[in-house]
Structure 1
Amino acid sequence: MTEARPLIAYSFAYVRRQIHSGEELNANRALKRQLAAQLVFEKGSGKHILKNFPDSSTYREAPFVSRERFRQAITVARNAGADLLLADIRELMERTTRDQIIRCVGVLNALDVEVWDASLGRTWQSMSEDERRSLFMRAAQTKASRSKAVKDGMLLSRVERAAAPKGNYRQGNRANRHNADQRALRHWDFVLKEMERLPAGKKLSPSALAAALNAAEVPSPRGGRWIHNTAKDLIARIGTLPPKPTST
């Protein structure tokens, strides 16, 4: 019985920022998912993983087959008489541009080591041309649909961001008007008393009202002292309110 060939496992993920430590590498969800699939394959196949080559890049246009770590994994597999183990070839292709997917197919076709797909439980070399083409087409279609979803999401986000300030502006104005009306109602009686103290025909000036409010230690809308403008706004707001009902 021929002894099962060992495996060299390679995994790859795109990251937002460069990974600088083993802890960050082990915490990456995409790499963890690929490693889990490789370990399941190892257990089910009876093969043994000699070495793991986790890899990552911040450059989204770079296909996994162009990575230095991928070439290292191939070299180690060749020298050790081992096969290369990928978690999911189609998923790796889905993460690249369409022209790079074609490049991935070309590189895999030209390799002189067996390449296992843990998700399929098969080697790339055992697949027919039609099977490889189907895998390539599914990867391209998934890539296209994912790109469309991202573009649609970005467009919707821009529309929502453009609409939000207008809605917030209106809501803020309504809240400000409501607060001003409530404040005017609270100070209504005070303002009327100040008006009654004036000689007939004389209007209450904002400065006089501000002085009276400050003397009575009534806080301004911002919690400080009243000034000409804040008193003027209060008089104007009271003038817009409907007549206050009188008690009977």
Structure 2
Amino acid sequence: MNEARLLVAYSFVYVRRQPNSPAEVNANSALRRQLTTQRKFEKASNGRILKVIPDWSTSRTTPFSSRENFRNAVEVARSAGADLLLADIAELIERTTLNQIARCVDALNALDVELWDATLARTWRAMGLDERGSFVKSAMEISKSRSEAVRAGIQLSRTKKAAPPNLNYKHGNHANRRNADKRASRLLPFVLGEMAKLTTGEKLSPSALAAALNAAGVSTARGGQWTHNTAKDLIARIGKLRAKPTST
């Protein structure tokens, strides 16, 4: 029998206020979702999580890769000869501020321990430079879109206009579509895996997909639970992406 892969699970979220007790930490839905994803990976990969290190910050200017707890998780993994396990690397990078994204990725590239993405069941090293670059590009677009929305909101508040300029509205919608397409591309292997479980001629229902995504601890783009409608939108978006001709 193969020896179990040793893992150190690190999870990170931004919070509005510091939790005052372990119960409040455990009650954080984002941390729970990440741990659920990590536990499922542990089971599916014949792994064994040696230590769980949850982390949080009230400051959105500090990326997870600069946190003391992250460095501690790396040190624990190194000392134990274990791999480091994150729930969803792309999601953590996407929640990093624009001016810190490159620094965050550089820190991951410099790690001397193996880094696993529980959602994709792949290592950071195996993703390659192109895929890592796509994470960076997506995160930058999301960060810019978020900043533009905040600026538009501030401007709207100052001028008391009923709606933002049409150009900004169209630009925001276009960015949202691009980000949704990229997230759908990342989830494509998961969806295809669920389809492969079906009998010949059977279609994957949105409700079944939503249940599978929630069971796997995969959150929606807004960090919530999947529903029939959000899963239906994902199936439709993936269908359009697969129907697009590949460029040569």
Write the letter of the residue equivalent to 1:71: R
**Helix, strand or coil for the counterpart of 2:47?**
coil
Pairing of 1:56-135 with structure 2 (within 5 A): 56-135=56-135
Quote the Cα distance in structure 2 between the aligned partners of 1:31 and 1:147: 25
Task: State the secondary structure of the residue aligned to 1:40.
Answer: helix
| Alignment gaps of 5+ in structure 2 | 163-248
Quote how far apart the aligned CAs of 1:158 are.
6.1
The answer as to whether partners of 1:10 and 1:53 remain within 8 angstroms in 2 is yes
AA at the equivalent of 2:55: D
SS at match of 1:10: strand
**How far off is 1:155 after superposition?**
4.7
Bigger radius of gyration: 1
Which residue identity lines up with residue 52 of structure 2 in the other structure? Answer: N
Distance 1:26 1:72 in 2: 20
The one-letter amino acid paired with 2:62 is A
CA deviation digits over 1:121-155, x for unaligned, max 9?
10001121111111111122122223333444455
Q: Which has the higher contact order (CA 8 A, sep 6+)?
A: 2
* Distance in 2 between residues matched to 1:159 and 1:15, nearest whole Å: 31
Contact 2:5 2:46 (8 Å CA) reproduced: no
Q: Deviations over 1:141-188 (max 9, x none)?
A: 12222333344445556666x99xxxxxxxxxxxxxxxxxxxxxxxxx
Kept in 2, the 8 Å contact 1:5–1:81? The answer is no
Q: Distance in 1 between matches of 2:30 and 2:156?
A: 27
For these two proteins, the number of residue pairs brought into alignment is 162
Match of 1:27 in 2: 27
Structure 1 residue 95, shift from structure 2 partner: 1.5
**Alpha carbons of structure 1 residues 40 and 146: separation in structure 2 relative to 1, 3 Å:** farther
Instruction: Look up the equivalent residue of 2:84 and give its one-letter code.
Output: L
Change (3 A) 1:17 1:84: same
Query: Percent of pairs identical after alignment?
Result: 61
The whole-number CA distance in structure 2 between the counterparts of 1:58 and 1:29 is 16
Deviations 1:45-104 (CA, angstroms, capped at 9, x unpaired): 121111100000111100101111101111110111110000111111112212211011
Distance (Å, rounded) in 1 between the aligned partners of 2:139 and 2:52:
25
**In structure 2, do the counterparts of structure 1 residues 159 and 49 end up closer, same or farther at CA, with 3 Å as the change threshold?**
farther
Unmatched runs of 5 consecutive residues or more in structure 1? 164-248
